[in-house]
A = this chain, B = another copy of it.
Amino acid sequence: MTTPPVANAKWLNRVKWDEHGLVPVIAQEAGSGDVLMFAWMNRDALYKTVELGEAVYWSRSRKKLWHKGEESGHVQKVLEIRLDCDQDVVLLKVEQAGGIACHTGRHACFFNKFEGDPKDGDWQEVEPVLKDPETIYTESKK
């Protein structure tokens, strides 16, 4: 029986994986400090992220590894990886290829801003679409 190298990496055991074997991940742009997106990783994804130097997430909807940018070209070069005090959240400092992290064609995913009061307020889109999402994906949409 062969054991994959990933199982032997002690640093992966220090991460407190949730009941689904996942950890939440925040991707932050190194230069601007902008929080670009939020996703999840399993052990394989985090190992491959370190190995490759580019963000590899676990797609919960497609149930497979997702090398961010594999279709769009919007890869994230990983400059730094941090783990929080409880060892259950990961923060990536990245360089975002194309300046577009969001599948809507925006720079970042957090483009809905709450405006108004607690009873009658609402979310308003406040960031521009930089690229038509129809043209981002050549093969299929995520």
Listed in ascending order, the chain A residues whose CB lies under 8 Å from chain B are 5, 8-11, 14, 24, 26, 28, 32-35, 37-38, 47, 50-51, 80-87, 89, 91, 102-104, 106, 109-114, 116-119, 121-123
Contacts and interface: CB of A to CB of B under 8 A. Distances in A.
Given A33-B32, A38-B84, A109 B89 contact: yes
What 7 pairs between A and B have smallest CB-CB spacing?
A33-B33, A82-B110, A83-B112, A81-B114, A84-B109, A38-B89, A91-B110
Contacts of A28: 35
A104 B114 CA distance: 31
A113 B91 CA distance: 9
Contacts of A113: 80-82
Contacts of A37: 84
A85 B104 contact: yes
B33 A26 contact: no
B112 A87 contact: yes
A114 B121 CA distance: 41
A118 B85 contact: no
B122 A109 contact: no
A11 B82 contact: no
A130 to B, nearest CB: 13
8 contacts: A9-B118, A33-B34, A35-B35, A35-B91, A50-B121, A83-B114, A84-B112, A85-B106
